[in-house]
Each structure stands twice: as structure tokens, then as C-alpha cells.
Amino acid sequence: MRVFNTLTRRKEDFVPRDAGRVSLYVCGPTVYNHIHIGNARTFLSFDVIRRYLTYRGFEVTFVQNVTDVDDKIINKANEEGRSAQEVAEEYTAAFIDAMHALDIADPTERPKATEAIPEMVAMIETLIEKGHAYAVDGDVYFSVRSFPEYGKLSGRDIDEMNAGARVEVDERKQDPLDFALWKSAKPGEPHWPSPWGEGRPGWHIECSAMSEDILGRTFDIHGGASDLIFPHHENELAQSEAALGVPFVRYWLHGGLLQVNAEKMSKSLGNFMLLRDVLGTYSAPVIRLFMLQTHYRSPLDFSTHRLDEATAAYERLENLVRNLRWVRSLAVCGAGVPGDARQALEIALERTRSKFDAEMDDDFNTAGALGAIFELAKAANSFLSEYQSDMCEDDRQVLLHAEELIVELLGVLGIEVEEADASEAQWPREVVALATELAGFEGDEPAEAVDKLLEARQIARAEKDWARADAVRDGLAGLGFTIEDTAQGPRVIYEPKG
RNA sequence: GGCGACGUGGCCAAGUGGCAAGGCAGGGGCCUGCAAAGCCCUUAUCCCCGGUUCGAAUCCGGGCGUCGCCUCCA
């Protein structure tokens, strides 16, 4: 397995610290608002990475923090006249709900910054003792000059940065690039005790403290979006290595940014869409398919047009799984498919898995992996198309394997292929009235009513009474049923509306 | 200005030295009462120029264009 490491700017063989185990840390959100679809992309990318590592047999410990103390949260609370804690709690819950709605698996641990204050204070004390940090009027700053390797992650040179005009000048800092480890609390702000007085942690220190606390030193993978490389991850790296004296992280993975009209989606640009709003129109599997068709490190342009395309692509997969199930479910046994044709499909199954694995082994190339799945879709569809009427037991067994493989591999990508047919228990009672009207149905069961309607339609079709046949189909369509005439007879699919 | 990434068919996108995956859309055909689903066929001088090589989308140099980071940001 090879991964692209931001630190070395190369793909490297992935060798975890402890054989068979992977420690993974991904920066979570600052909870002052609902997350937008760009945030979601990053979390989705690492969800897939986590799922794939698990599929590959690694025992993955996945930690994602929640930043629940921060200037933005305080500002939001002030605007709304409530406490920072209330704001943080509301959006933490909303964040977790949104993750679930996108089928993103829960991390092993989801630590909150406010619950790790003592660990942060301890790390800051260590940094001061080692001469990497200094306290001024209740604030503590990290001394960038004390860490000669500062800039190695983002490929920057301190002196060139100093020359730039954009670095904030603060009289109390020894160097303009020094950043806050601890901020003294202003009245009304959340605060915790520390050796430097009441205050709160700076942004970067939480990840350093919590990752070490849970994952230990020199853990395997630290992830986030590429806009975190500088300054956030550069600062984390500097703090942790200065404090611990060992490498902080083995592999730094950074995802590409979501864009809108070729511009970064961000809250400051105002061009963002909330994940929860997108989920109102598009399902989680469709959003996932849309995003995973592009490599996680590449920029990805967001548009509803692209989501509509992904919807069509997803339906192709749904239809395939549905068709495989349909053909397998048929009771009659045909003449049997020629052995070489069946064997060819079996070989295609093996190739699909090996190609999927090879693509994912190569820096989590989900686009290539999806290509492998779609190639299998074509092979399976061709097989169905050619031999649908000939199937017998051995053939159905291969179809079952094909279905299981597709569901399994899509599952590694977190793309759920739903049971297309809702259970009969959910069928609307209105079909009873429809059956009574169009087919003289006298019973009370929706399932029986549908059978009666299908029967009536078949009779009408046999009599070439197309108007009557179509009235049944249209009537059922109005209730959410789709009728498809297959070589083996009509099939009904129910998908609740809305 | 500094650092970095990218430019592949109508749209999107994988591919980093050996006949250019895949998705969407379009066209033609098959199946079909119609429809749905599906199958078959069909569309690429890989941004431009120069170089290395038996061979380049892929490596090197130059150019043009786009984006990101350098300030909070997933």
C-alpha cells in the first residue's frame, strides 16, 4: 500500500508503527455552525480511508476531535446572546447527526478540546521548560525560532515569510510568526485555570495534546484538508516535536478542496452549501459516489449538475443489484448457461476485486476503484442480457457472488446499495381502492391488490387493450410503484415518494 | 512576490514511459404494444512549443491558462 505523504511530497510505502494496527487522527470541525459540503468531503475521504484500512485487515484506531472552544464560537455566542457552551453543544450534535446522515462511521474516539485542558496545559509547560515557549501577560506563545525545522511540512522558509507583509505584528511576540498556545480570558469568555492565569487554549495545541494522549507518540496518519497544512498542521508538528523530541506523525495526508465555479468553497467567501441542505435533495450514496469519482487529493467542483450525473450512475448500480436479485429469485430453471460463459464471469469477479484492491492500495484511488466496479457492472449486465432465460442453479450461484462482491466493495466505499424494493408491509393502502376500481378486487391486502392489478394488466395486454393496461400501470405509478416487463414477466418496484 | 498543485473526448474523471479505465450526456441499432431496465456499435492530434527515448498523456526545459496556501478556514 502506498500513500502520498505531504511531508515528503512523495508516495511512500505505508508501514504502520505497530504491525497490523493503524492509528489515525483527523482534524474535526470547530463547532460554531453547521458543516458545509466542503467540510463533508474531507470527512468522507478519511471515512473511506479508514474503511479501506479496516477492509485490508488493519485494526484502526480513528480519532477525530471536536474543537468546542474557539474565538468563532465565542463570537457566535455573543451575537446570539447565549453561552459558548450552548453554541458548541448544539453544533456538536448537529455535526454528529450530519456524519451519520452521510453514512460516515463514528470514530473510535471523538475527544472534545474542553475535556483535554489539563493535557494541553501540561504540554505547554513542557514547551516552556524546554525553551520553546514563553509567557507574556497571561498568554503563552510558541517560539518558532526555537524549532529549526519549522516550515518543513508546508515547505516554507521562516525568513521569507517574515518578509511578507501579511504577518500580524504583535509587540508582545518575540517573532511575528510565533503563535498562541494559551490565551488569557477576557471577561465573559470561557476559561480554565493554568499556571499563567485563567484562560483558554490556542487552536493548535488541542490536536497535539489529544492525539498524543490517545494515539501515543509518532502515530501513523494525520489527516485533514489541504488548507490546514499551514499554519495549523505546521504548528501542531512544531509543538509536538519540540515537546516530545520524537517525530510527531509518520504520514501526513491532505485532501483537496471542494470548489464552486473553480473557487474554493469557504465560509468567508460565502459560496458554501450546508451538508444538511444537500442531503435534503440528494441521498448519502449519491453524494458519496459524486465525491469518490474524483481522487481525494484533487480539487473537486461542486454542482447540482454533477450530483444529478452521480444520481444516474448510482441508479445504474442499484438497477444491477436489483436485476441480479430478480433473476436469482425466479423459480424456474433454464437450460443452463454455457460453462465457459459462466467461468468468464467468475474470472471477471476475481479481476474486479484485485483491481479494486490495487487501485485503493495506490493512495486510495477511489475513482479507479469505482471504475473496476462499473466494469463488473457491465460484465454482469451483459451476462444477464445474454443468458437471463437460461439460468439454472450454478449460474445463480455466480450471480449471487457477483451481487455480494458489488455490495461488499461499494460498502468499503461506504456506498450503500439499498434494498430497492421496500417491503410489502410499507405498501400504501391506496392500492386496494385502485384494485377495486380497475380490477374488481374485493380483498383488503395491499400485496394481494397489487397482484390482482398485475394480473388484470396482463390480461389486458394479452387482449391488446393497451388503454386498460396503461391505466393500471399509470395508476400504480401514481402511488410510487414502477412496473417493468421483463422476459420473465412483470415486476413491481415500490419506492416511497419524498 | 514566495511555495505548491493542476490542464486528458460534449461534461466529469482515472491513468505518471509501451495499443487512452470508468461515469454522465449525444447519435445509431437490438429487445419491446408503449415504457422501464439492459445489451451492441459510435465520438480523444491527452493546453502549446522544444528536448530525451526504439517508444512520451506520462520524463526534462520553456510558454500560456486555472486553482490553492502564504490571514480564520475541511
- Whether A208 CB is under 7 Å from strand B: no
Predicted local distance difference test score (pLDDT) of residue A489: 84
Instruction: Tell me whether residue A151 is in a domain.
Output: yes
Strand extents, DSSP E, A35-84? 59-64
Dihedral angle at the C-alpha atoms of A160, A161, A162, A165, nearest 10 degrees?
A: 110
- Whether A282 CB is under 7 Å from strand B: no
Q: Does residue A348 sit in the same domain as residue A229?
A: no
Instruction: Tell me whether residue A418 is in a domain.
Output: no
Residue A235 (CA) to nucleotide B62 (C1'), in angstroms, measures 37
Q: Does residue A136 sit in the same domain as residue A166?
A: yes
- Whether A224 CB is under 7 Å from strand B: yes
CATH code: domain of residue A335: 1.10.730.10
Q: Among A379, A412, A445, give the residue marking a domain's end.
A: A412
Average pLDDT of each block of 10 consecutive residues along chain A (498 residues)?
Answer: 93 95 97 96 98 98 97 94 96 98 98 97 97 95 94 88 58 88 93 96 96 97 96 96 96 96 88 95 97 96 95 96 90 87 95 96 97 97 92 93 97 86 76 91 90 93 92 91 86 77
Closest nucleotide relative to residue A269's CA, C1' based: B73
Residue A86 (CA) to nucleotide B60 (C1'), in angstroms, measures 58
Q: Among A262, A281, A300, give the residue marking a domain's end.
A: A281
Q: Are A21 and A79 in contact (CB under 8 A)?
A: no
Q: Does residue A6 sit in the same domain as residue A151?
A: yes
Q: Does residue A317 sit in the same domain as residue A399?
A: yes
- Whether A230 CB is under 7 Å from strand B: yes
Instruction: Please give the backbone phi and psi of residue A32, each rounded to the nearest 5 degrees, phi first.
Output: -125, 0
Q: Does residue A458 sit in the same domain as residue A315?
A: no
Q: Does residue A323 sit in the same domain as residue A443?
A: no
- Whether A300 CB is under 7 Å from strand B: yes
Nucleotides of B under 7 A from a protein CB: 1-6, 11-16, 21-25, 32-40, 66-74
Residue A364 (CA) to nucleotide B60 (C1'), in angstroms, measures 29
Q: Are A328 and A396 in contact (CB under 8 A)?
A: yes
CATH code: domain of residue A20: 3.40.50.620
Predicted local distance difference test score (pLDDT) of residue A497: 64
Q: Among A386, A412, A438, give the residue marking a domain's end.
A: A412
Instruction: Tell me whether residue A215 is in a domain.
Output: yes
Between CA A352 and CA A399 the distance in angstroms is 14
Q: Does residue A401 sit in the same domain as residue A434?
A: no
Strand partners, A13: A2
- Whether A74 CB is under 7 Å from strand B: no
Instruction: Tell me whether residue A204 is in a domain.
Output: yes
Q: Does residue A429 sit in the same domain as residue A388?
A: no
- Whether A313 CB is under 7 Å from strand B: yes
Angle at CA of residue A458, ends A454 and A463, nearest 5°: 150
**Grid cell at residue A30:** 470547530
- Whether A39 CB is under 7 Å from strand B: yes
Predicted local distance difference test score (pLDDT) of residue A194: 97
**Grid cell at residue A315:** 441508479
Predicted local distance difference test score (pLDDT) of residue A419: 65
Residues 388-417 of A with CB under 7 A from strand B: none
- Whether A206 CB is under 7 Å from strand B: no
Q: Are A80 and A171 in contact (CB under 8 A)?
A: no
Q: Are A288 and A257 in contact (CB under 8 A)?
A: no
Instruction: Tell me whether residue A298 is in a domain.
Output: no
Q: How many domains does chain A have?
A: 3
Instruction: Tell me whether residue A375 is in a domain.
Output: yes
Host domain of residue A337 = 310-412
Residue A404 (CA) to nucleotide B40 (C1'), in angstroms, measures 27
Q: Does residue A317 sit in the same domain as residue A457?
A: no
- Whether A105 CB is under 7 Å from strand B: no
Identity of residue A223: G
- Whether A156 CB is under 7 Å from strand B: yes
- Whether A309 CB is under 7 Å from strand B: yes
Residues in chain A: 498
Instruction: Tell me whether residue A381 is in a domain.
Output: yes
Q: Find the residue closest to B22 using CA and C1' atoms.
A: A371
Q: Find the residue closest to B21 using CA and C1' atoms.
A: A371
Q: Does residue A408 sit in the same domain as residue A431?
A: no
Q: Does residue A366 sit in the same domain as residue A254?
A: no
Residue A378 (CA) to nucleotide B30 (C1'), in angstroms, measures 17
Residues 332-351 of A with CB under 7 A from strand B: none
Q: Which long-range contacts (CB under 8 A, 24 or more apart) does A331-339 make?
A: A332/A488, A333/A391, A333/A392, A333/A393, A334/A387, A334/A389, A334/A390, A334/A391, A334/A392, A335/A390, A335/A392, A336/A390, A336/A391, A336/A392, A336/A394, A336/A395, A337/A383, A337/A387, A337/A390, A337/A391, A337/A392, A337/A394, A337/A395
Predicted local distance difference test score (pLDDT) of residue A425: 73
- Whether A168 CB is under 7 Å from strand B: yes
Q: Are A369 and A52 in contact (CB under 8 A)?
A: no
Residue A387 (CA) to nucleotide B9 (C1'), in angstroms, measures 33
Q: Does residue A180 sit in the same domain as residue A74?
A: yes
Instruction: Please give the backbone phi and psi of residue A173, each rounded to the nearest 5 degrees, phi first.
Output: -80, 145
Instruction: Tell me whether residue A299 is in a domain.
Output: no
Between CA A171 and CA A174 the distance in angstroms is 8
Q: Find the residue closest to B35 using CA and C1' atoms.
A: A484
